[in-house]
Copies of this chain bind each other. A is one copy, B any other.
């Protein structure tokens, strides 16, 4: 029996997680070009950026101009990271095309007090202290469901690894607060800003939540890739969940991303959107996303940031599964990364490559190669 997978909900973070760690000098025009290209890929949810202080994040200083200039695709839900009341006020002007999602409020705390101080200028205790206000606002708005979250969930570059018990303690505390407020918890989130996730820990964690709170069917994972573990962890999460569950995942085109607070900068990365959707396609999961267009975005991104990105299929091309995309049996040696781009640029890419065979390659598996 083939495995039955959970429903996947994907949020592309290229414009937010990605751009926030790139040069603040990337032009408005380039950002708009990239956002417009992303909007044409079939990605259903795109995070356009964050409304934050330009003192800490100059990369987001012109987010208003980006939103004024881009061409929204009506089939895409565009969201932004909002961190406080000022954020909400700034974002409000752009609804629509922006969507402000506040129908499932969350209680969140970082297991690492150092990181939350560095990133948000507040302590873990201050995070806990903010919870009553969030609950009160939720009650006033009559929200019907809520989320519990733990951040820096698997570990911190400043204080080391965290345990399942530590994660469950935070979640338990948050769950109790929502429960006492009479608002059912339907979703759980794990944020991994410092890339400590490991696939077996992700699996163990999701199963622990399912056992403790069987009514939670929505699982949000924000995983970074500094140690190469985000794609294995995403797969492990898909493996651990069932068709009754929804798995919400974040990633970026090219696998770029990170924040300046975590200590690993651009080496932090995320799961590459194009590699993840290529995997889903190989698994027979319908997504409506065009991997070839995602690769176009990765190439555009490389042009904008001036260096190669971390993804794989943007370099080698997707698996050529249909006869029209099969490689030529008589293509010469393909050696360099430039030559490998033939999957998009055509045979000129490998023109002049070594051809060592004394006779042309001819195989009954490729009737078109038979002499």
Contact of A318 among B227, B315, B364, B365 (CB under 8 A): B227
Contacts of A319 in B (CB 8 A): 155, 157, 161, 195-196, 227
Scan A259-282; emit 1 where CB is below 8 A from any B CB, else 0: 011111111110010010011001
Contacts of A317 in B (CB 8 A): 226, 264
Asked whether A253 is an interface residue with its Cβ less than 8 Å from the other chain, the reply is no
A351 to B123, CA, bound (A): 26
Contacting pair A264 B334 (CB below 8 A): yes
- Copies of this polypeptide in the complex: 2
Contacting pair A327 B200 (CB below 8 A): no
Residue of B nearest to A312 (CB): B228
From 90 to 139 in chain A, residues with beta carbon under 8 angstroms from any chain B beta carbon are 112-114, 117-118, 121, 123
Asked whether A308 is an interface residue with its Cβ less than 8 Å from the other chain, the reply is yes
A contact face: mostly helix, strand, loop, or mixed: loop
Contacting pair B283 A160 (CB below 8 A): no
Q: A196-B319, A363-B113 are in contact. Are A158 and B326 (CB under 8 A)?
A: yes
From 329 to 355 in chain A, residues with beta carbon under 8 angstroms from any chain B beta carbon are 329, 331, 333-337, 339-340, 342-343, 353-354
Contacts of A357 in B (CB 8 A): 118, 121
Scan A71-98; emit 1 where CB is below 8 A from any B CB, else 0: 0000000000000000000000000000
Q: How far is the CB of A232 from chain B (nearest CB, A)?
A: 5
Give chain A's interface residues, CB within 8 Å of chain B. 2-3, 21, 55-56, 112-114, 117-118, 121, 123, 155, 157-161, 195-196, 198-201, 204, 225-229, 231-232, 235-236, 239, 260-269, 272, 275, 278-279, 282-283, 308, 310-313, 315-323, 326-327, 329, 331, 333-337, 339-340, 342-343, 353-354, 356-357, 361-366, 369
- Listed A/B pairs (16) with beta-carbon separation below 8 Å: A160-B326, A199-B235, A227-B279, A229-B282, A231-B232, A235-B236, A260-B335, A264-B340, A265-B340, A266-B340, A267-B315, A267-B337, A269-B312, A269-B316, A310-B310, A310-B312
